[in-house]
Amino acid sequence: MVKLAVIYYSSTGINYQLARWAEEAGKSVGAEVKVVKVPELAPEAAIASNPAWKAHVEETKDVPEATSADIEWADAIIFSVPTRFGVMASQMKQFLDTQGGLWASGKTVNKVVSAMTSAQNAHGGQEATILSLYTAMMHWGAILVPPGYTDQVLFGAGGNPYGTSVSQGQDGKMVEDVKGAVEHQAKRTIEIAKKIVGE
């Protein structure tokens, strides 16, 4: 059984929903899945000033925080993180930056990884955000599994070959219908992980 960690950061809930869809898809193909969030770094005042952010923090208070042990446990990792000025949110970057001990001991090598993201605009840095995460994964010696154009469902979701990406409208909801793309990406990640772990 492939062990999949879905590691996410979400301020108002979009990437949390992507993570949950990935979890469902992973379980549907027999993977053991855990969903964990990276620690929040934003000050309380910033969170309190945004009702949607505050509500989401409360909604997900029982979701476990990601640790190095989750990475070590996993055969495959799907990251879901919003873009901030064209790169991954600082919360995710901080989490990755604290994994030096795992990296130095070779425990990140051959982890099968894939990434998803969101932004307010379709061209607001979605591809660049995923690539920024993949750059770190190359240093880890991880095996990147982008969706490419491996299924027709990807075209209806915007056609991002690097990873599922979605725009968030002014109403706080997803603009594109990306659930099928997330499911395909998660299943593909697990399919490749099975080949790597020799299942």
- Residue that is written with structure tokens 């997330």 in the block: 182
Per DSSP, 64 falls in state P
pLDDT (tens digit per residue) in 138-177: 999 999 999 999 999 999 899 999 999 999 998 989 999 9
| pLDDT for position 56 | 96
Query: Crossing angle for the helix pair 14-28 and 179-197, nearest 10 degrees?
Result: 50
Quote the mean pLDDT of the chain.
96
State pTM to two decimals: 0.96
Query: Which CATH number covers residue 16?
Result: 3.40.50.360
Span 33-70, pLDDT tens digits: 999 999 999 999 999 999 999 999 999 999 999 999 99
Tally of domains within the chain: 1
Residue 134 near residue 86 (C-beta atoms within 8 A): no
Can you tell me the distance from the alpha carbon of 111 to that of 4, in angstroms, rounded to the nearest whole number?
10
pLDDT value at residue 170: 87
DSSP code, position 176: S
Residue 24 has pLDDT above 80, yes or no: yes
Structure tokens at 119: 């932004």
DSSP 91-159: HHHHHHHTTHHHHHTTTTTT-EEEEEEEESSTTSSHHHHHHHHHHHHHHHT-EE---TT-STHHHHTT-
Average pLDDT over residues 86-109: 97
Q: Please give the residue range of the domain that contains residue 56.
A: 3-197
pLDDT at 199 over 80: no
